Structure 1
Amino acid sequence: MRFLFALPICLLSIVAMAQTPFADQLATHRETYKKDLLKSAGGPLASEEDLAYVQFYEPDSTYRITATVQLTPKAEPFEMPTYNGKTRPHVSYAILSFVLNGKKQQLTLYRNLNVIRMPEFRDYLFLPFKDATSGKETYGGGRYIDFRTKDIKEGQLIIDFNKAYNPYCAYQEGYPCPIPPKNNTSPVAIRAGEKTYGKEH
């Protein structure tokens, strides 16, 4: 089960071979993602038929970019609101700076202070964001991308927006899905990753 609905159900596919062609690697990642979405205990999908409504943008390597990482070791913990009215303790881990569609961008990378208490997720990092597609082509509540601390190498981090995924709230209401902070709203249309769930709920 995705812990607190902010854990990566897609992390399992990161082990794909680096030399695998981009589109093939992403296809494998998405298949693993969908299978995990269905089999997760307490998950939002009731049957395999629901998977037909899980939609993605076509693979686009231009949305796989390298960001400069500025760590924020003195950041104060705070309570990040969720869509069911509860909160979850988080802390800023780093500021990510990059250029996307010709525009300079900054997003904040977070740590969930509950999740990192679990040994297997001690190095887990969380990037919640909204963009110009939110509420139109993609879920209005924003999307997430997951990382591990080891993904940061020599002050840089590869962000693959093709792996952006919906929180459980995109499929059903009532889950404690973290709300992306206002500073993590991009004015750019990020047409990569998961689209709006195609079934009414």
Structure 2
Amino acid sequence: MRRLLCSLLLCLPWVALHADPRKDWDGFRAALTEQAAGPTGMYAIQDVAVIAPNQAAYLPAAARPADLRWTPQRGDDRAIVLRYRDGKAMLEGKGLAATDLLKAEDRQQALPNGLTVRVTQYEDSLKAWLYNPALTAQRFKGLSFFPYDPKGVVTGRFTRKDVPVAVSHLDSRNHTGVMYWIGDVALPIQGKTYTLRAFNKQKDWKQIDHVLLFFTDKTSKKTSYGGGRSLETHFPAGAAPSSMTFNLNTLYSFLCAHSPYYNCPINLTTFVPVELKYGEKYPPSGK
């Protein structure tokens, strides 16, 4: 099972072998819907905290589950604590066995109150996600997609940068981040070829196993998310081919279309001056 690595770095599993692009599209829609609607999905996020090394975040013991939010102060001895120290993300508290979430399955742990904590590790910080499955029923209104179009399966030429270039970006929550420009893709779309920068979160070619493209187009702010959409294709780590197949039917919205808790790059997109009626459409109202 490959992983759809979103621009906001939430991994969504789906099979992407290109043997049958229509099945890729079916798998993409199913996986994205599951990630949105699941108990630890996009619409179940109750709070997020960014924890620096040697720091901690706490969940007060006295609060109702629906009211819980991360806080930098312990408050009381019964609080649940997540400490980021010595390369470990230790979750401890009443009713919990001390667990390093970086070694836990899916890097997450269910809490006795029905909530779940999951972590994402970055070079200089740890992001702690707090999920409440009850929120999904309140928020999730379904996802929308353009109809499948076989013309959206295109082959592009990839020119690799042997030394990836760090590109600083300002994201949608006014945080700075870094993506690595790993090359360029010449992509034929509707009779013309457009050159797009290809990105990855990794800077070491031994670990790079996909290219990630960021688009806006003439559907943006109309029938697709205005902030941008992402497209990717995978290959064996470190072995990027010069010819790559992309399935535009698997274009997906920046995750900020679904939740304000995500950090989306806002200055890495390439505008393609055509209507890309492929992939995920603008999110339904009432998100």
- Give TM-score scaled by structure 1 length: 0.80
User: Are residues 32 and 42 of structure 1, via their aligned partners in 2, closer, same or farther at CA, if it must alter by over 3 Å?
Assistant: closer
Cα deviation, residue 54, structure 1: 0.6
The answer (yes or no) to whether the contact 2:218–2:272 under 8 Å persists in 1 is: yes
Identical residues among aligned pairs (%): 19
The answer (yes or no) to whether the contact 1:129–1:180 under 8 Å persists in 2 is: no
- Give TM-score scaled by structure 2 length: 0.58
The answer (yes or no) to whether the contact 1:55–1:198 under 8 Å persists in 2 is: yes
Q: Does 1:95 align with 2:98?
A: no
Cα deviation, residue 167, structure 1: 2.0
1:137 aligned partner, one-letter code: T
Query: What's the RMSD between the two structures over aligned residues?
Result: 2.9
Correspondences of 1:43-62 after superposition (within 5 Å)? 43-44=42-43, 46-47=135-136, 52-62=141-151
Cα deviation, residue 130, structure 1: 1.0
Distance 2:191 2:22 in 1: 23
Secondary structure at 2:252's aligned position in 1?
A: coil
The answer (yes or no) to whether the contact 1:129–1:144 under 8 Å persists in 2 is: yes
Secondary structure at 2:212's aligned position in 1?
A: strand
Correspondences of 1:1-201 after superposition (within 5 Å)? 5-9=8-12, 11-14=13-16, 18=19, 20=20, 22-39=21-38, 41=40, 43-44=42-43, 46-47=135-136, 52-113=141-202, 122-150=208-236, 154-182=241-269, 184-201=270-287
Distance 1:158 1:3 in 2: 18
1:5 aligned partner, one-letter code: L
Bigger fraction of residues in helix? 1
2:218 aligned partner, one-letter code: A
Cα deviation, residue 24, structure 1: 4.1
User: Are residues 44 and 127 of structure 1, via their aligned partners in 2, closer, same or farther at CA, if it must alter by over 3 Å?
Assistant: farther
Cα deviation, residue 44, structure 1: 3.0
Q: How many residues align?
A: 191
Distance 2:277 2:146 in 1: 7
Secondary structure at 2:151's aligned position in 1?
A: helix
Tell me: higher relative CO, structure 1 or 2? Use CA pairs within 8 A at least 6 residues apart.
Answer: 1
148-157 vs 165-174, which moves further:
148-157
User: Are residues 122 and 141 of structure 1, via their aligned partners in 2, closer, same or farther at CA, if it must alter by over 3 Å?
Assistant: same
Distance 1:145 1:130 in 2: 11
Distance 1:137 1:3 in 2: 20
Distance 1:179 1:127 in 2: 13
Bigger fraction of residues in strand? 2
Cα deviation, residue 125, structure 1: 3.1
The answer (yes or no) to whether the contact 2:153–2:247 under 8 Å persists in 1 is: yes
Superposed CA offset, 1:54-88 (max 9, x none): 10000001011000111122453121221111122
Which structure has the larger Rg over C-alpha atoms? 2
**Unaligned stretches of 5+ residues in structure 2:** 45-134
Superposed CA offset, 1:147-189 (max 9, x none): 334397641111111001112210122421122525x111121
